[in-house]
Amino acid sequence: MRIQTVLTLIACLVLSSCQTLSKEECAVADWRVIGEQDGAAGYNPQDRFARHVKACTKAGVAADQTLWYQGYQQGLPRYCTPLNGLTVGSQGQSYANVCPIDLDPGFREGYDLGRIYHQKKGEISSMESRISSIEQEIRADEELVRTGKIDPREAYSRIDANRWKIRDLERDIGRSQSDLRRIEDDMDNFRYSNAPRT
Protein backbone atom coordinates (compact mmCIF):
# COMPACT_ATOMS: atom_id res chain seq x y z
CA MET A 1 0.00 0.00 0.00
CA ARG A 2 2.82 2.40 0.85
CA ILE A 3 4.52 1.72 -2.52
CA GLN A 4 1.25 2.57 -4.31
CA THR A 5 1.05 5.86 -2.42
CA VAL A 6 4.63 6.75 -3.33
CA LEU A 7 4.02 5.89 -7.00
CA THR A 8 0.85 8.02 -7.01
CA LEU A 9 2.75 10.97 -5.53
CA ILE A 10 5.53 10.60 -8.13
CA ALA A 11 2.95 10.49 -10.95
CA CYS A 12 1.29 13.64 -9.59
CA LEU A 13 4.62 15.45 -9.41
CA VAL A 14 5.50 14.44 -12.97
CA LEU A 15 2.12 15.53 -14.31
CA SER A 16 2.17 18.86 -12.47
CA SER A 17 5.67 19.60 -13.76
CA CYS A 18 4.28 19.24 -17.32
CA GLN A 19 1.59 21.85 -16.66
CA THR A 20 2.34 25.05 -18.58
CA LEU A 21 -0.05 27.18 -16.53
CA SER A 22 -1.67 26.90 -13.12
CA LYS A 23 -5.43 27.19 -12.57
CA GLU A 24 -4.95 30.74 -11.29
CA GLU A 25 -2.78 31.71 -14.29
CA CYS A 26 -5.39 30.32 -16.70
CA ALA A 27 -8.10 32.42 -15.04
CA VAL A 28 -6.23 35.71 -15.66
CA ALA A 29 -4.31 34.72 -18.81
CA ASP A 30 -3.38 37.36 -21.36
CA TRP A 31 -3.08 35.02 -24.33
CA ARG A 32 -1.24 37.50 -26.51
CA VAL A 33 1.48 37.96 -23.84
CA ILE A 34 1.72 34.20 -23.24
CA GLY A 35 2.07 33.63 -26.99
CA GLU A 36 4.79 36.28 -27.22
CA GLN A 37 6.75 34.64 -24.40
CA ASP A 38 6.39 31.22 -26.05
CA GLY A 39 7.56 32.59 -29.40
CA ALA A 40 10.55 34.29 -27.78
CA ALA A 41 11.44 30.93 -26.19
CA GLY A 42 11.24 29.08 -29.53
CA TYR A 43 8.63 26.54 -28.47
CA ASN A 44 7.00 24.31 -31.08
CA PRO A 45 3.68 26.17 -31.55
CA GLN A 46 1.37 23.15 -31.91
CA ASP A 47 2.80 21.30 -28.91
CA ARG A 48 2.99 24.37 -26.70
CA PHE A 49 -0.54 25.61 -27.38
CA ALA A 50 -1.94 22.07 -26.95
CA ARG A 51 -0.34 21.95 -23.50
CA HIS A 52 -1.90 25.33 -22.61
CA VAL A 53 -5.29 24.01 -23.74
CA LYS A 54 -4.86 20.89 -21.62
CA ALA A 55 -3.81 22.88 -18.55
CA CYS A 56 -6.63 25.42 -18.83
CA THR A 57 -9.37 22.93 -19.75
CA LYS A 58 -8.82 21.38 -16.33
CA ALA A 59 -9.32 24.85 -14.86
CA GLY A 60 -12.49 25.38 -16.91
CA VAL A 61 -10.90 28.15 -19.01
CA ALA A 62 -10.82 28.25 -22.81
CA ALA A 63 -7.46 29.18 -24.35
CA ASP A 64 -7.66 31.87 -27.07
CA GLN A 65 -5.67 30.48 -29.99
CA THR A 66 -6.00 33.61 -32.17
CA LEU A 67 -4.56 35.97 -29.56
CA TRP A 68 -1.94 33.42 -28.53
CA TYR A 69 -0.78 32.94 -32.14
CA GLN A 70 -0.59 36.71 -32.76
CA GLY A 71 1.64 37.01 -29.70
CA TYR A 72 3.67 33.99 -30.76
CA GLN A 73 4.45 35.60 -34.13
CA GLN A 74 5.51 38.80 -32.34
CA GLY A 75 7.83 36.93 -29.99
CA LEU A 76 9.44 34.66 -32.58
CA PRO A 77 11.86 37.26 -34.07
CA ARG A 78 13.46 37.64 -30.61
CA TYR A 79 14.26 33.92 -30.66
CA CYS A 80 15.32 33.67 -34.30
CA THR A 81 18.49 35.77 -34.16
CA PRO A 82 21.93 34.46 -35.16
CA LEU A 83 23.31 35.15 -31.68
CA ASN A 84 20.47 33.32 -29.99
CA GLY A 85 21.00 30.43 -32.40
CA LEU A 86 24.60 30.30 -31.17
CA THR A 87 23.43 30.26 -27.54
CA VAL A 88 20.76 27.59 -28.11
CA GLY A 89 23.19 25.34 -30.01
CA SER A 90 26.06 25.75 -27.54
CA GLN A 91 23.76 24.77 -24.67
CA GLY A 92 22.79 21.57 -26.49
CA GLN A 93 19.14 22.57 -26.80
CA SER A 94 17.04 21.31 -29.68
CA TYR A 95 15.64 23.54 -32.42
CA ALA A 96 11.99 23.01 -33.37
CA ASN A 97 12.38 24.54 -36.89
CA VAL A 98 10.13 27.44 -35.93
CA CYS A 99 11.98 30.38 -37.50
CA PRO A 100 10.43 32.05 -40.57
CA ILE A 101 12.17 31.60 -43.94
CA ASP A 102 13.85 35.01 -43.79
CA LEU A 103 15.29 34.46 -40.28
CA ASP A 104 16.03 30.73 -40.40
CA PRO A 105 19.42 30.86 -42.24
CA GLY A 106 20.98 33.30 -39.75
CA PHE A 107 19.62 31.41 -36.76
CA ARG A 108 20.81 28.08 -38.19
CA GLU A 109 24.31 29.37 -38.87
CA GLY A 110 24.68 30.30 -35.20
CA TYR A 111 22.91 27.16 -34.04
CA ASP A 112 25.12 24.83 -36.09
CA LEU A 113 28.29 26.51 -34.82
CA GLY A 114 26.99 26.27 -31.25
CA ARG A 115 26.18 22.58 -31.72
CA ILE A 116 29.73 21.86 -32.93
CA TYR A 117 31.03 23.56 -29.77
CA HIS A 118 28.63 21.57 -27.56
CA GLN A 119 29.58 18.26 -29.20
CA LYS A 120 33.32 18.95 -28.87
CA LYS A 121 32.85 19.80 -25.16
CA GLY A 122 30.94 16.52 -24.79
CA GLU A 123 33.75 14.56 -26.45
CA ILE A 124 36.31 16.05 -24.06
CA SER A 125 34.10 15.40 -21.04
CA SER A 126 33.56 11.79 -22.14
CA MET A 127 37.32 11.20 -22.50
CA GLU A 128 37.98 12.79 -19.09
CA SER A 129 35.37 10.47 -17.55
CA ARG A 130 37.05 7.50 -19.23
CA ILE A 131 40.41 8.52 -17.73
CA SER A 132 38.80 8.73 -14.27
CA SER A 133 37.40 5.19 -14.70
CA ILE A 134 40.77 3.82 -15.81
CA GLU A 135 42.49 5.52 -12.87
CA GLN A 136 40.02 3.77 -10.55
CA GLU A 137 40.89 0.45 -12.20
CA ILE A 138 44.61 1.16 -11.62
CA ARG A 139 43.99 1.98 -7.95
CA ALA A 140 41.91 -1.19 -7.55
CA ASP A 141 44.73 -3.31 -9.03
CA GLU A 142 47.31 -1.59 -6.82
CA GLU A 143 45.15 -2.38 -3.79
CA LEU A 144 44.89 -6.04 -4.84
CA VAL A 145 48.68 -6.21 -5.09
CA ARG A 146 49.09 -4.46 -1.73
CA THR A 147 46.76 -6.95 -0.02
CA GLY A 148 48.29 -9.94 -1.81
CA LYS A 149 45.03 -10.95 -3.50
CA ILE A 150 46.47 -11.15 -7.02
CA ASP A 151 49.65 -12.15 -8.80
CA PRO A 152 51.64 -8.87 -9.04
CA ARG A 153 52.77 -9.68 -12.59
CA GLU A 154 49.16 -9.95 -13.77
CA ALA A 155 48.18 -6.72 -11.99
CA TYR A 156 51.18 -4.72 -13.23
CA SER A 157 50.60 -5.90 -16.79
CA ARG A 158 47.05 -4.53 -16.57
CA ILE A 159 48.23 -1.34 -14.86
CA ASP A 160 50.79 -0.69 -17.61
CA ALA A 161 48.17 -1.27 -20.32
CA ASN A 162 45.81 1.13 -18.55
CA ARG A 163 48.51 3.79 -18.23
CA TRP A 164 49.06 3.58 -21.99
CA LYS A 165 45.32 4.04 -22.51
CA ILE A 166 45.44 7.15 -20.33
CA ARG A 167 48.34 8.57 -22.35
CA ASP A 168 46.41 7.97 -25.58
CA LEU A 169 43.31 9.62 -24.16
CA GLU A 170 45.31 12.60 -22.86
CA ARG A 171 46.79 13.05 -26.33
CA ASP A 172 43.29 12.92 -27.85
CA ILE A 173 42.04 15.42 -25.26
CA GLY A 174 44.88 17.77 -26.21
CA ARG A 175 43.85 17.60 -29.87
CA SER A 176 40.20 18.13 -29.01
CA GLN A 177 41.06 21.11 -26.80
CA SER A 178 42.96 22.65 -29.74
CA ASP A 179 39.87 22.07 -31.90
CA LEU A 180 37.74 23.63 -29.18
CA ARG A 181 39.91 26.76 -29.08
CA ARG A 182 39.50 27.15 -32.85
CA ILE A 183 35.74 26.73 -32.50
CA GLU A 184 35.69 29.33 -29.70
CA ASP A 185 37.58 31.73 -31.98
CA ASP A 186 34.97 31.11 -34.69
CA MET A 187 32.24 31.80 -32.13
CA ASP A 188 33.90 35.07 -31.08
CA ASN A 189 34.14 36.14 -34.72
CA PHE A 190 30.49 35.18 -35.24
CA ARG A 191 29.43 37.20 -32.20
CA TYR A 192 31.40 40.20 -33.41
CA SER A 193 30.01 40.05 -36.96
CA ASN A 194 26.43 39.68 -35.67
CA ALA A 195 26.62 42.18 -32.81
CA PRO A 196 24.02 44.98 -33.02
CA ARG A 197 25.53 48.10 -34.58
CA THR A 198 24.78 51.39 -32.86
Q: Are residues 144 and 178 in the same domain?
A: yes
| 10/22: higher pLDDT | 22
The domain tally of the chain equals 2
Predicted TM-score of the model (pTM) = 0.80
What confidence tier does 151 reach under pLDDT thresholds 50, 70, 90?
confident
Let me know whether 159 and 70 are in one domain.
Answer: no
Residues 48 and 58 in one domain: yes
Tell me what the mean pLDDT of segment 63-78 comes to.
Answer: 96
Residue 159 has pLDDT above 50, yes or no: yes
Q: Cβ atoms within 10 A of the Cβ of 42, count? A: 23
CB 94 within 8 A of CB 160: no
Kindly state whether residues 67 and 132 are assigned to the same domain. no
Mean pLDDT within 142-163: 91
Return mean pLDDT, the chain: 90
- What pLDDT, on a 0 to 100 scale, did the predictor assign at position 123? 97
Q: Do 85 and 172 sit in the same domain of this protein?
A: yes
- 5 in a structural domain: no
CA pair distance 95, 185, nearest whole angstrom: 23
CA-closest candidate to residue 69, choices 89, 41, 49:
49
Mean of the pLDDT values across residues 64-69?
95
Cα separation, 122 vs 131, whole angstroms: 14
- Which residues span the domain enclosing 26? 22-79
Q: Is residue 118 part of a domain?
A: yes
To the nearest whole percent, how much of the chain has pLDDT over 90?
74
For residue 66, is it within any domain? yes
Residue 20 pLDDT class (50, 70, 90 cuts): confident
Q: Comparing C-alpha atoms, which of 102, 137, 120 is closest to residue 186?
A: 120
Residue 18: pLDDT band (50, 70, 90) is low
Q: Are residues 67 and 125 in the same domain?
A: no
Listed residue (119, 52, 116, 111) closest to 86, CA to CA:
111
* pLDDT, tens digit (0-9, with 9 covering 90-100), for 40-60: 999 999 999 999 999 999 888
In a shared domain, residues 38 and 95: no
Do 92 and 71 belong to one domain? Answer: no
